[in-house]
Amino acid sequence: MARQRKVVPDKQPPTDITLSDPEYYFNREISWLEFNNRVLHEAFDPRTPLLERLKFMAIFSSNLDEYFMVRVAALKEQVTAKVTRRSADGLTAQAQLNLISERLRPMVMQQHCHFEQALRPQLATKGVYLLDYIDLNQEQRAYLQTYFDEQIFPVLTPLAIDPGHPFPYISNLSLNLAVVIKDPTKGEELFARVKVPKILPRFLPLPEHLRRQQKDVPAAWTAVPLEQVIAHNLERLFPGMDIQEYYPFRITRDGDLEVAEDEADDLLLAIEQELRKRRFGGSIVRLEVHASMPELVRDMLRQEMDLAESDVYEVEGLLCLSDLFALTDLPLPELKDAAWRSALPTRLRRSLDADLSSLDLEEDFFAVIRKQDLMLHHPYYSFSNTVQRFLTQAAHDPDVLAIKTTLYRTSGDSPIVDALITAAENGKQVSVLVELKARFDEENNINWARKLENVGVHVVYGLVGLKTHTKVMLVVRREEGRIRRYVHIGTGNYNPKTARLYTDIGLLSCRDDLGADLTDLFNYLTGYSRQQSYRKLLVAPVNLRNRMLSLIHRESEHASNGHHARIVAKMNALVDPGMIVALYEASQAGVQIDLIVRGMCCLRPQLPGISDNIRVVSIVGRFLEHSRIFYFHNQGEEEVFIGSADWMTRNLDRRVEAVVPIDDPAIAKDLQEILGILLADNRQAWDLQPDGHYIQRRPATGISEQSSQRILMEMAQQQ
């Protein structure tokens, strides 16, 4: 845990306050770990269906992998480079690494203990068995030995480690076996490494007739970890040798890219080269070992990988629990959340036919948007039948002249890209900004960029030094002798798959000022424009920070003048010190502030004299809360905004972002209702305490459970 200042509720407010003082900030790295701990809690919560609990356990592990590849790797690089800069909470890079290790180890231990001692037995009561090899009967072993000989053995490559065989390269996130072997002729012990191949299933299912049976419980699924099947057939890899022991281990490498954009003649080629380095380079930042591994083997691995003891994490049971994702696909609906089918907004239900080819063009998407702005709330409202369909119609519409959009992340089989290709093939002017630097999606985006370029789409890669994170689309259409521009501005990626899992807001509009602003924004992205002012949009890094600060300061002025003042802001992360100072000042002025921050929050709420009027809640549930909504009371002339930016320094200063004001009163009211529902959640909401801990809300006696996501699902179906 980061440095903590004990807060006594009735303590007198500090008289000499410097709001930039480190004691008023949580460490961002520890705050992220606390978020991941809330994810892990869903795996512990008996109210969560069993296979969904496995999903949250897998998400926790997957999140940690990325955390080490990016955040821990960056801190270790700072230590190596002797960087003296401190975090907002006053900590050096080494101090942060020490805190991470101290906070994370009990979490990991808790995770694995719960999986082994609680979830595996509970799965067995439902006929789902993940068995250890030593617990198999003879018939099951015989089947797996045949499977090993036919399917696994040809893929394996044992690597000896001795003076003639240097320590092998070990790929990122790979699961391996450290094998101790004895040569019976020489009597010496040898060491080898066997990689567990990723191309094979991590959990090998047994055929139905070999599944474990239990009285009154149908055998739904029985499987054995792949590494155990390999381990118990090692004599096939080392004939003539005595297998002494085997120990699973796993490594994590630095996964971030370093691209000198201003020196790169071709950004696409430069990123491809960095991707190859990521695949085959990157320093090792974490070693996970099974707790049974003896100190001698562990030290040998650690020294060969140039790791400190603090970089080693012991695990009881199975390594790499992110592979539990595979179990969530089991056809056992009774062990999962009830299936959710996204709805359509009421206006679209009345206006759109199920088949695009039979749309009445007098009541098509464009007609619906011309009548009134349309708000979309995913996944409560369908993405494929709204945003995707809007783009598909534009691609086929003979009156559409041009389509421009940004792509930050999209799916591997993207219907969005297919629609853009169709539009280009239909002779429309199509321009797409593909962000090649979208972390861990670089390769996917390179492939899409090339595919788009091959059909004549104008593809650009953004601005030097900036990531283009904004999610915007512009459709230019000729109507009755004039040009009309239709826009989509959203908080989430143009990705149909994540749109079913993430909560996001989108606005469809044909307001002239928004169309003009997006035209200017795309000129800024694709040409040499240095647009510094926009009619409506708040754009980073141009005016977003200053406009948000001015909105906060305006509420402070209202409160100072004795008027009611209120701010409600929903985002993924609150890290930027400048925004935090502005919120502290607003609290001191008397502004009532509610912050819905899913992940990192460096602001300390409820500090006497500092943040008495600030409350912070985090919601972790079935869907990943991803939307950004900003509400300002403004003496009853309320203003509501949505957009792609969190209040992080990178979003405000180093990314291209767009936040849009909601001018339609009905939509503004709907967004306020959403914020109210989220703030009233007593099922998936966690309240941030002044000391950095989160406490999950529980319904008081006699009060019904209020899950905001469940309520929003019900509302979408009932409209």
- Residue with the larger pLDDT of the pair 323 and 347: 323
pTM: 0.91
Domain 48-335 belongs to what topology?
A: polyphosphate kinase like (3.30.1840)
Per-residue pLDDT reduced to its tens digit, 225-236: 999 999 999 999
Average pLDDT over residues 577-582: 97
Q: Is 452 helix (H, G, I), strand (E, B) or coil?
A: helix
Quickly state the pLDDT bin for 653 (edges 50, 70, 90): very high
Segment 454-480 mean pLDDT: 88
pLDDT in tens, 590-606: 999 999 999 999 999 99
The catalytically annotated residue of 290, 377, 378, 469 is: 469
- Residue-wise pLDDT tens digits, 55-111: 999 999 999 999 999 899 999 989 988 988 899 999 999 999 999 999 999 999 999
Q: Is 469 a catalytic residue?
A: yes
Least confident interval from 33-47, 79-93, 358-372, 389-403? 358-372
Topology of the domain covering 539-718: Endonuclease; Chain A (3.30.870)
Residues 6+ apart with CB under 8 A from 360: 353
Domain ranges of the chain: 48-335, 346-532, 539-718
In whole angstroms, what is the distance from residue 574 CA to residue 644 CA?
Answer: 14
* 3-state helix/strand/coil string of 277-328: HHHHCCCEEEEEEECCCCHHHHHHHHHHCCCCHHHEEEECCCCCHHHHHHHH
Contact 203, 326 (CB under 8 A): yes
Same fold, 346-532 and 539-718: yes
Integer CA distances (angstroms), 587 to 12, 171, 581, in order: 16, 49, 10
What pLDDT sits at residue 5?
Answer: 38
Average pLDDT over residues 654-681: 97
Residue 525 neighbours by CB under 8 Å, 6+ apart: 406, 433, 460, 462, 463, 468, 656
Q: Tell me the average pLDDT across 573-598.
A: 98
The fraction of the chain above a pLDDT of 70, given in percent, is 89
The CATH code for residues 346-532 is 3.30.870.10
Q: Say whether pLDDT at 36 is over 90.
A: yes
